[in-house]
Structure 1
Amino acid sequence: MATTTTSYAEEQAAPAARAFWISRINVGRLIAHLALLALVLIWTLPTAGLLISSVRDRDQLAVSGWWTALVTSDRNVALTLPGADAQAEEGGRYVIRGELFSDAGVTVQRYGTSINNPTEAAAGETLAVRQGGEITVAADGSYEWVSATPFEHDRVRLFVVAGTPPRFTLDNYVNVLNSEGIGRSFINSFTVTIPATIIPILIAAFAAYALAWMSFPGRAWIVALIVALLVVPLQMSLIPLLRMYNGIAMWTGGNSKTYLGIWLAHTGFGLPLAIYLLRNYMAGLPKEIMESARMDGASHFKIFTTMVLPLSFPALASFAIFQFLWVWNDLLVATVFLGNREDQLVLTGRLRELLGSRGDNWEILTAGAFISIVVPLIVFFSLQRYFVRGLLAGSVK
C-alpha cells in the first residue's frame, strides 16, 4: 500500500504561496477599481465643470476657471473717482469720501494711482495722489481722499485689485432661453429626435423578428448585407441620398427642407444597427416559448406582439439610447436636410451660431451647451439598467 508524505518544508511553503496569490488577486482588483474610478472622473469632470461655469457670474467666469468657483477671485478694476465738486471742507481740510463698489462682499487687496503700478499700496495704506492730497482705501472699498488745499481736478483714475466672493446666478439660462432663440431650437430638436428614434425602432423590430424566427430564402444574405452596411460611413451615403430625396421632392412639387426628410434620413442611417442589435437579442430568446406558442395556434404577429416585444425591451432601450443621443447631437444631417431656417434650426445649429456671434460670452455658451446635454443625460440614466443587457444581446449562448 503506497502512502504520500509531505515534507516539513512543503507544509511551511503552502500558506505562503496561498498568501502570495491572494495578495496578487487583491492588487489586481485594486488596480481595476482605480482604473474604473479614473475613467469615471475623466468623463464626469468636464460635465461638472460645464455645469458650474454655466451658473457663475459672467465677470468671474471671464477671469478664472470653474475649479476656483468656491474661492474668492481677484480681478483688476479701473475706477474713476468723483470730481472736485464732491469735496467738503472739514476743519481746514478738504475731503472726498465714498465707496468704490456697490456690491457687498467685494474687497480691496491692493490699489494704485497709475496704470503702470496698480498694486502700489495695500488696502489701508495711504497713497499720495498726483493731482493733490493723499488717499486711503480700506479693505471694504471705502476711501477717504484728503487735501490741505481745495481740489481742482476734473477726472482721476484709481486702479484696484479687487477680491470678489463666489457668485452664482441663473441669469445665464434666462438670457439663453429668452434672448438667444435656444428655446425654439430646443423644441425643434425634440421634433426631429423623437420621431427619428421611434420610426427605426418600429421598422427594425419587425425586421429583426423575421430574420431571427422566420424561415425564407435569402435570409442569411440579408443578415450579411445588414452587417456590411454597419461599416458604410454616413458621409459616403449622405450626398446620394440627398440628391435622390431632392429629385423626389421636385417631381412631386414639394419642399425638400422638411422634417419628413430628416426623419427618413435618420431612419435609414439607424436601421442597420437597430436590426443587427435586435436580431441578435431575439435570436437568443428561448426556443421552447416560440414552439409552445405555435402549438397553441398563435400566429407570428401574435407571438411578436405579445411575447417577443416585451422580452426584447432591454435591446429596444439600448438602441433607443444610441439613436436618441446620435440624433440629438447631430449637426451634419440636420444642416443638409433642414438647412438654416430660423424656424427649423436645431439646438446644435443654434450653438454653432452662438460660437460665431457670441464666442466671447462664455456664460452664454456654457449655459447653452449644458441645456443641450441635460436631455441626453436624463435619457441615459433613466434607461441605463437596460443598456448593458441590450449591448450583450446574443454575445453568449
Structure 2
Amino acid sequence: MTAVRRALSSSLVQAFLVLIGLIWLTPLAGLFLSSLRSSQDTAEGGWWTVFAHPGQLSFDNYSALLENSGITQSFWNTVLISVPTTFLVVVVAALAGYAFAWLEFPGRDAIFLVVVALLVIPVQVGLLPVAKLFGQLGLFGSIPGVVLFHVAYGLPFAVFLLRNYFAEMPKEMLEAARMDGGTEWRIFLQLVLPVARPAIASLAVFQFLWVWNDMLVALLFANSGAQPLTVELQSQIRQFGSNIDVLAPGAFLSLVVPLVVFFAFQRHFVQGVMAGSVK
C-alpha cells in the first residue's frame, strides 16, 4: 500500500488523472453550453464556438423549460419515483440484511439462497408478467406501480450487499450489546446502522442513479401522466426531432441531479466501496 500511495502521489500521475477527469467532463461541459444556446446558434456551429462568441450564452432555454408543463411534470414524476424507491429499498434491505446476518430463524439459509438466485434474473423476464399482474391490481400506468417494480427488482442486490456487510461486523460487539440488555431492535438502530453508514450510502447512491436514469421500466409501466424525465425527453425527440433548445437543458437537468446526489454522499460512498479491501 505504501508503494501504491507513493506512486499515486507523484506529479506525473496526478497530471494524468487531471487530464482523464477533464476528458470525462468534456461531454458534460458541451451539453451545458449547448443548453445555453439558441437552436439557431446550434444549427450554425458546434458548442465550442461559444468561446469565440460568448454572446450566444443565455438562460432563455431554462426559462422556457420551466414553462414547459410536460418537462416540469415529468421531472417531479422522476422525483416521486426515485426517492420513495430508494428509501424503501434501503429500509427493507437493511432490515432483511440484519436478519439474514445475525438472527436465527427456520429456513434462513434457504431463503437467502433464493435471494441470491434472484440476482441472475434479468429485468426483461419479468416485464410482461408483472405488467399483467399490475393491470389486474389497478397499478399499471401509475407511479406506485413503477415504484413497486423498482423496489422488487432492487431488493435482491440490496439485501445481498447489506447482509454481507453486516456479517463482517465483530460478533463480540453484538454479543456485548445483548449482554448489556439491548434488544435486537435497539442494537440494529443504535449500533449496526451507524457502523454500516458507508455501505448504506453506497447502496442509496447506486439505487437512486439506477432508478433516476431508467427508461425501460418507465416506458412500459408509466402512462402519460406518470412518465419520468427520461421518457419525456425521448418523446420530445420523437415528436420534434431537432428542438435542441428544449432537449439540451432538459438532458442537463436530468444529468445534474444524480451528480449532486453523488457528490453529496461521495465520502460515505467511497468508504462503502473500499470497505473490506484493505486490512
The question of a shared fold, defined as TM-score above 0.5 by the shorter chain, is answered with yes
Q: Which has the larger radius of gyration?
A: 1
- Distance (Å, rounded) in 2 between the aligned partners of 1:28 and 1:293: 42
Structure 2 CA distance for partners of 1:255 and 1:289, relative to 1, 3 Å:
closer
Structure 2 SS opposite 1:333:
helix
Which residue in the other structure is 2:124 paired with?
235
Does 2:135 align with 1:246?
Answer: yes
Structure 1 residues 214 and 368, CA, compared in 2 at 3 Å: closer, same or farther? same
What residue is the counterpart of 2:27 in the other structure?
A: 46
Conserved 8 A contact 1:317-1:386: yes
Quote the residue 1:295 is aligned against: 179
Q: Which runs of 5+ in 1 are unaligned?
A: 1-21, 73-164
1:365 is aligned to: 247
Which of 238, 261, 266 does residue 356 from structure 1 map onto?
Answer: 238
Match of 2:50 among 69, 73, 81: 69
The CA deviation at 1:194 is 1.0
Structure 1 residue 201 corresponds to structure 2 residue 70? no
SS in structure 2 at match of 1:166: helix
Alignment of 1:81-100 (within 5 A): none
In proportion to residue count, which structure has more helix?
A: 2
Report if the CA contact (8 A) 2:141-2:221 is conserved.
yes
1:113 is matched with which residue? none
Deviations 1:109-144 (A, max 9, x none): xxxxxxxxxxxxxxxxxxxxxxxxxxxxxxxxxxxx
Please list, as runs of the form range in 1=range in 2, the aligned pairs for 1:1-397 lying within 5 A after superposition: 32-33=13-14, 36-72=17-53, 166-179=55-68, 181-247=70-136, 249=137, 254-339=138-223, 341=224, 343-395=225-277
Mapped contact 2:134–2:145 kept (Cα < 8 A):
yes
For 2:36, the aligned partner's letter is V
Contact 1:186 1:347 (8 Å CA) reproduced? yes
- Give 3-state SS (helix, strand or coil) of 2:104's partner: coil
Note if contact 1:347-1:372 (Cα within 8 Å) is conserved in structure 2. yes
Tell me how large the CA RMSD over aligned residues is.
Answer: 2.4
Greater RCO, CA 8 A, separation 6+: 2
Gaps of 5+ in 2: none
- Identity over aligned pairs, percent: 44
How many angstroms apart in 2 are the aligned matches of 1:198 and 1:26?
A: 40
1:215: Cα distance to partner? 2.5
Counterpart amino acid of residue 62 in structure 1: A
- Tell me which protein shows more strand as a share of its residues: 1
| Distance in 1 (alpha carbons) for counterparts of 2:55 and 2:149 | 47
Query: Structure 1 225/187 Cα, relative in aligned 2: closer, same or farther at 3 Å?
Result: same
User: Using a 3 Å threshold, how does the CA distance of structure 1 residues 282 and 26 change in structure 2: closer, same or farther?
Assistant: closer
Tell me the amino acid that sits aligned with residue 102 of structure 2.
W
Give me the whole-angstrom Cα distance separating, in 2, the residues matched to 1:289 and 1:26: 37
- Give the Cα–Cα distance (whole angstroms) in 2 for the partners of residues 232 and 26 of structure 1: 41
